[in-house]
Structure formats: structure tokens, C-alpha cells
């Protein structure tokens, strides 16, 4: 072991700083194989720890996001850990693993612990929220819980309408899709070409987006285009229309990319609006200006031949959210290529590890 590499002392290295009115209380902390190593003028902290927390409130907890910092506004000094799709009753304990790498300047003034752990947000079963929300974790966890409610409801309907064998078939399909799933890696940069891109000037062209129609989506893509060069999509613009009767403050556009062999891949949901978005009913707005996206799979560039966009998430000004229904996903190519939601993966894991009876019991808890 290098002389500069050392294990972290939990008493002096990490401070779990919970607010006085926090709905969670700390029961214990295990540092695991967390280590610190000197790299030039900085200390690199590899955290592999776990926190055991208790729900000290009166409502069931559905999600938690932690903000972990060495120096919040320095490069590499901030990270986050989220635990969605949990169901923690009042007084119940649960464990939250923390596996992150942080950097702390050696010359950083002041004593005290190397790492500070804080709550950024706690989401409850009624979708109410606690926390400073510095990371916009309320939006992310509300989307995850809305998806979770959608998928639990779907599997319960299958069980009630068609029986245990039909539920088993659906879960087996989900497990097969998870094993075969191949999502692209997407690197996003602002105002310029992303590192490691493969660009040929002869292949540069402007390509239009195709769009999947979601009949009940509150926001509709109208038109879109991007400059395509090799595995890059540069300066994409997507114009959307707010069809709903409520102001919209956030939109995400999902991307499907077709490669030169005709294979379709989900490229994830790209944040398509700023946090300051305010789109009134009946109005249009353009998304994704001054952005470059680079697509790769298992480290290899994916030559872009076509792009298809779809609205994947919408948040209204009142904090309510919209996600596509299972019926809409099944009526499009999306269900075939989209990664299952965290909740669907959790339910499939219950079936794989404990069997059908345990899955049915879990669905019946909700």
C-alpha cells in the first residue's frame, strides 16, 4: 500500500450534519473501505461507507437524496447519493450506501472533518418534501415515485385481471429486457465540441428530428433539428408547445438514436430546459441551445444516422409531474428499448431472489 494512502477515521473524517427538524435521524455509520490518498496539491477521498438512518417522522419515506461535500464550490468537491423507491414506515430503520469519489485541496483552510454529509431532500408517500433542494432532488424523486406508482399499478392490474401466470410472464419479460438492454452513453457539453468525439467535416449535415406522439402528453414537440457529424449532435434545437392549461417549468426530451446498421438505441433523457423555464399554456419554447451531445456504446463512437425525440417528463409550476403511461409506452417502440424504471427493477429483483409469492405480497402492500 502506498505510504500516502490511508484509511479514514470516522470520528474525524466525516460529519453527518442533519438539520434539527430533520425527519431522519442517524443510527450508525460504517466507513467500510473508505480511503484518502494524496495527489499533488489535493487529497482524493474514495468513500465506500454506509449510513443507517431512522424515519423519525410521521409519514412513510419514499426517497432520500444526500449532498456530500468537501468544498461545495470547488471542482470535484461535491457529490450526491439518491435512494429512490423505498418504503420506510415511521420509526423504521434503513441503510443508505455511499460510494463516491471527492477531491479536497490540501491547502484548504480550517480544521474539522474532511467530508460533510447533509440531507438535500426527503420525499414522503403523499409526495410532500423536506429539504433545501439545492440539487433539485425534489423534482427527480417526484418523477421516480410517479413512475413507481405507475409501474406498481400496472403489475397489480395484470395480477388482478389475468392472474399469477400473467404477472409471472410480465416480470420474466422485464428480466429478459434488463439482460439485453443496451443504452448509449451520452456526454453533454456546452458551446463546443465534446472531448473524444469522432468528427469528419465531409459528413457534417443538418438533420431533422422525428417525434413520437404521446396523445395525453401536456407538452408536444413541434419541430427540431441538429447538426450531425459522426457521433456528435451539435446545437440541437427542439421547439415544444404547452398543450395543457397549466404553466410548465421543466421538460425533458428522450432521445432515440439510429446507427448505420439500423439499430435503435435509447440515448437517455436529456435535460431540455433550464430551471428558470416558464412556459405558459398555449405557448411555444425552444430547448437545448448551445449544446453538444456525443454518443457512444461500450466506449466506441456510435455514428448517428437518425434521431427520434419524445417527451419523457414534464413538471408544472405547481410541482405536479407527468410521465408517459404504460399503455402509451406499450403502443410505441419505447417499451422495447427503454430501461425499466428503478421500481420495475426492484420488483423484478424480488421475483428473481424470492419468487412469485414474495412479489405478489410486495404488490399487495401498496
State how many domains the chain has. 3
Q: Each residue of 310-323: b (16+ CB within 10 Å) or e?
A: bbbbbbbeeeebbb
The SS3 assignment for 359 reads: helix
Please check whether residues 201 and 326 belong to one and the same domain.
Answer: yes
**Residues forming a β-bridge with 97:** 50
In a domain, 140, yes or no: no
Q: What is the pLDDT along the chain (366 residues), one digit of tens a residue?
A: 444 678 887 677 899 999 999 999 999 999 999 998 888 778 899 999 999 999 999 999 999 999 999 987 778 899 999 999 899 999 999 999 999 999 988 765 456 788 999 999 999 999 999 999 999 999 999 999 999 999 999 999 999 999 999 999 999 999 988 777 566 788 877 755 444 444 444 568 898 999 988 888 999 999 998 899 888 888 888 899 999 999 999 998 888 888 888 888 887 666 566 667 889 999 999 886 677 888 888 888 988 998 898 999 999 999 999 999 998 888 777 777 777 889 999 999 999 999 999 999 999 998
Same domain membership, residue 194 and residue 59: no
Are residues 354 and 224 located together in one domain of the fold? no
3-class SS of residue 78: strand
143 falls within a domain? no
Considering the domain architecture, whether residues 234 and 254 belong to the same structural domain is answered as: yes
Asked if 196 and 114 sit in the same domain, the reply is no
- What pLDDT, on the 0 to 100 scale, is given for residue 101? 95
Examine residue 128 and state whether it is found in any structural domain, yes or no: yes
- 57/74 same-domain check: yes
Same domain? For 164 and 275 the reply is no
Domain-located, residue 104: yes
Q: What is the pTM (predicted TM-score) of this model?
A: 0.85
pLDDT at 1: 42
Q: Are 241 and 331 in a shared domain?
A: yes
Residues near 202 by beta carbon (within 8 Å), at least 6 away in sequence: none
| 141 within some domain | no
Long-range CB contacts (< 8 A, 24+ apart) of 328-336? 328/214, 328/215, 328/216, 332/212, 332/214, 333/212, 333/256, 333/264, 334/212, 334/254, 334/256, 334/266, 334/310, 336/177
Domain with 158, as residue range(s), is 152-178+342-364
What are the φ and ψ backbone dihedral angles of 49, each rounded to 5 degrees?
A: -120, 175
Q: Cβ–Cβ contacts within 10 Å for residue 34, how many?
A: 21
Amino acid at each position: 500500500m502506498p505510504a500516502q494512502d490511508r484509511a479514514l477515521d470516522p470520528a474525524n473524517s466525516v460529519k453527518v450534519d442533519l438539520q434539527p427538524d430533520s425527519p431522519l435521524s442517524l443510527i450508525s455509520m460504517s466507513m467500510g473501505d473508505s480511503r484518502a490518498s494524496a495527489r499533488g496539491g489535493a487529497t482524493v477521498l474514495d468513500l465506500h461507507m454506509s449510513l443507517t438512518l431512522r424515519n423519525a417522522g410521521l409519514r412513510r419515506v419514499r426517497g432520500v437524496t444526500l449532498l456530500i461535500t468537501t468544498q461545495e464550490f470547488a471542482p470535484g468537491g461535491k457529490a450526491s447519493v439518491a435512494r429512490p423507491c423505498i418504503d420506510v414506515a415511521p420509526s423504521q430503520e434503513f441503510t443508505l450506501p455511499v460510494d463516491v469519489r471527492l477531491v479536497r485541496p490540501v491547502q484548504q483552510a480550517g480544521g474539522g472533518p474532511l467530508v460533510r454529509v447533509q440531507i438535500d431532500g426527503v420525499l414522503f408517500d403523499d409526495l410532500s418534501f423536506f429539504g433545501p433542494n439545492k440539487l433539485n432532488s425534489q423534482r427527480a424523486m417526484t418523477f421516480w415515485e410517479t413512475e413507481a406508482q405507475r409501474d406498481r399499478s400496472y403489475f397489480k392490474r395484470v395480477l388482478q385481471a389475468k392472474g399469477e401466470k400473467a404477472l409471472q410472464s410480465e416480470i420474466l419479460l422485464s428480466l429478459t429486457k434488463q439482460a439485453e438492454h443496451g443504452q448509449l452513453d451520452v456526454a453533454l457539453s456546452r458551446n463546443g465540441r465534446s472531448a473524444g468525439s469522432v468528427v469528419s467535416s465531409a459528413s457534417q449535415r443538418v438533420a431533422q428530428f422525428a417525434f413520437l406522439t404521446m396523445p395525453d402528453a401536456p407538452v408536444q414537440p413541434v419541430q427540431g433539428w441538429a447538426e450531425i457529424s459522426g457521433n456528435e449532435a451539435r446545437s440541437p434545437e427542439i421547439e415544444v408547445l404547452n398543450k395543457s392549461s397549466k404553466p410548465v417549468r421543466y421538460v425533458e426530451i428522450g432521445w432515440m438514436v439510429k446507427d448505420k446498421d439500423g439499430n435503435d438505441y435509447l440515448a437517455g433523457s436529456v435535460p431540455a430546459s433550464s430551471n428558470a423555464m416558464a412556459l405558459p399554456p398555449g405557448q411555444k419554447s425552444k430547448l437545448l441551445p448551445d449544446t453538444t451531445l456525443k454518443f457512444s456504446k461500450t466506449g466506441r463512437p456510435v455514428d448517428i444516422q437518425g434521431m427520434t425525440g419524445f417527451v419523457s417528463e414534464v413538471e408544472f409550476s405547481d410541482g405536479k409531474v407527468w410521465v408517459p403511461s404504460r399503455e402509451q409506452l406499450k403502443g410505441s417502440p419505447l417499451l422495447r428499448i427503454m430501461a425499466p424504471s428503478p421500481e420495475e427493477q426492484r420488483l423484478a429483483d424480488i421475483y428473481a431472489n424470492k419468487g412469485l409469492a414474495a412479489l405478489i405480497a410486495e404488490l399487495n402492500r401498496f
